[in-house]
């Protein structure tokens, strides 16, 4: 029974995030996570930070599917 509830909650969260969060919001959050990661005192923190900032920038400029359908 708990597996069904867990699956339902995870699916509900993924659907709501997909409807509420646009690519720009997710991109900004990834870039901010990358900026915060650069200040972590770990020797490979700069690698994770570069990946987050680069990925966030790419997601930020990626057009949303909903906006593409309106443009047609």
Annotate 35-67 with three-state secondary structure. Answer: HHHCCCCCCCHHHHHHHHHHHHHHHHHCCCHHH
The model's pTM is: 0.64
Residue 42 in any domain: the answer is: yes
In the chain, the number of structural domains is 1
Residue 29 in any domain: the answer is: yes
Tokens of 3: 């597996």
Instruction: Walk along the chain (72 residues) and give the pLDDT tens digit of each residue.
Output: 444 556 555 655 655 555 566 788 888 888 999 999 999 898 988 999 999 999 999 988 888 776 555 555
Domain hosting residue 53, numbered range: 22-63
CA 35 to chain centre: 15
Residue 58 in any domain: the answer is: yes
Residue 33 in any domain: the answer is: yes
* Tally of residues, the chain: 72
CA 58 to chain centre: 11
Residue 9 in any domain: the answer is: no
């Amino acid at each position: 029974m708990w597996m069904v509830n867990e699956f339902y909650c995870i699916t509900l969260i993924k659907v709501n995030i997909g409807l509420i969060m646009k690519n720009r919001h997710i991109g900004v959050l990834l870039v901010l996570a990358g900026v915060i990661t650069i200040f972590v005192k770990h020797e490979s923190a700069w690698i994770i930070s570069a990946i987050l900032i680069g990925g966030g920038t790419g997601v930020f400029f990626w057009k949303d599917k909903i906006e593409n359908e309106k443009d047609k």
